[in-house]
Amino acid sequence: MLRFGFDNTYVRDLPGAYRAWQPAAVPAPRLLFANAALAEELGLPPEALQGPDAAALFAGNRLPADAEPIAQAYAGHQFGGFSPQLGDGRALLLGEVIDRAGRRRDIAFKGSGRTPYSRGGDGKAAVGPMLREVLIGEAMHALGIPTTRALAVAATGELVRRETALPGAVLTRVAASHLRVGTFQFFASRGELEMLRRLADYTLARHDPELIGAPDRHLALLRAVAGRQATLIAQWLNVGFIHGVMNTDNMALSGETIDYGPCAFMEAYDPAAVFSSIDHQGRYAYANQPGIARWNLARFAETLLPLMADEDDEPAIERAVAEATAVIDDFPALLAGALLRGQRDKLGIADASPGDDEADTALANDWLTLLHT
């Protein structure tokens, strides 16, 4: 039986952070897209994408023998309102592989049916949005922007009910991890301090192993996540990308772009551009993305504070709050620096020095103003 070489640390190390679950069987699986280059990068067996069982595999009817499918638990702020339990409502993590570059990567389904976290949803996905996610994810990857990627899309042979009936599909997603700000919020909101500590240690081991032994490792984790997000959001801005749903459950601690929904690239510069039909107030508009990222990081910092200081030690709490606040306050400058580096590249400004920052920023802003008039 086919094996992917899974090594599932999330299942082993974080009991209580997921529910074991199986994908729903589908009537007529058919492979629509297979990313052979990504499969090679992951070190997957060639027959996974080419064999007669490939459609059944990527539709969820026949899993690799070493898969341990789980629905991950997380909470999140959605459009500013907190939901203490969200979780994978239509996704399943199948397992983790070590790719040919030695990196640990998640392989997960999206649209594979209801889970314990579905909250009334059908757990399904439609062909159109899943193929759109392939295109946008591969475009982001080609642009050098950290992103999840699609390994495969399989049609299911069934209809999913939205405003109209649409053909169903399952997307197989590859990510550095599916750890989110909302994952930490899930346990912090429940006061599960030991689980929160285990989650932080797991995140460090997964994404920042050099920080594990640091005496202030939780503050260092906050800094690392803030740095990755500053770089990512700057890259979005420099290609005119609008994510559309920057909820805390959609902010990946890996610094990858995740959960492509009502996202788009602007065809003409408009800082107020919004592509989500439900974002009536423009919360996640193009120009608001840096501020929303900072806000999300502040929510992440709140989850780490109990790990940074004992609740009975008032001076330690004050110090931890001050240190975390400093990281959040430094975020705009981090992002501005990353943004300016990209703008210089686009404008052909070479050999810049720190003394040129103000003039170069003014030039870039003038250019954007011209684009908007």
Percent of the residues in the chain that have a pLDDT greater than 70, as a whole number: 100
- Amino acid letter, residue 280: H
Report the candidate in 112, 106, 100 with the shortest Cα–Cα distance to residue 37: 100
Question: What local confidence, expressed as pLDDT, does residue 230 receive?
Answer: 99
Of 37-51, 294-308, 314-328, the range with the lowest mean pLDDT is 37-51
Q: Mean per-residue pLDDT for 44-50?
A: 88
Question: What local confidence, expressed as pLDDT, does residue 36 receive?
Answer: 96
pTM of structure: 0.96
Q: Give bridge partners of residue 70 from the DSSP assignment.
A: 20, 93
Per-residue pLDDT at 127 exceeds 90: yes
Ordered alpha helix ranges (H), 108-180:
127-142
- What are the catalytic residues? 249
Report the candidate in 93, 104, 65, 72 with the shortest Cα–Cα distance to residue 187: 72
d(CA 198, CA 220): 16
Q: Mean per-residue pLDDT for 5-16?
A: 97
Give residue-wise pLDDT tens across range 56-85: 999 999 999 999 999 999 999 999 999 999
d(CA 258, CA 123): 18
Residue 213's CB is within 10 A of a number of other CB atoms, namely 8
Per-residue pLDDT at 132 exceeds 90: yes
Per-residue pLDDT at 334 exceeds 80: yes
Per-residue pLDDT at 51 exceeds 80: no
Per-residue pLDDT band at 121 (split at 50, 70, 90):
confident
Question: What local confidence, expressed as pLDDT, does residue 373 receive?
Answer: 77
* 8 Å CB contact between 282 and 275: no
Per-residue pLDDT at 289 exceeds 90: yes
> Residue 229 — φ and ψ, nearest 5°?
-70, -35
d(CA 342, CA 160): 41
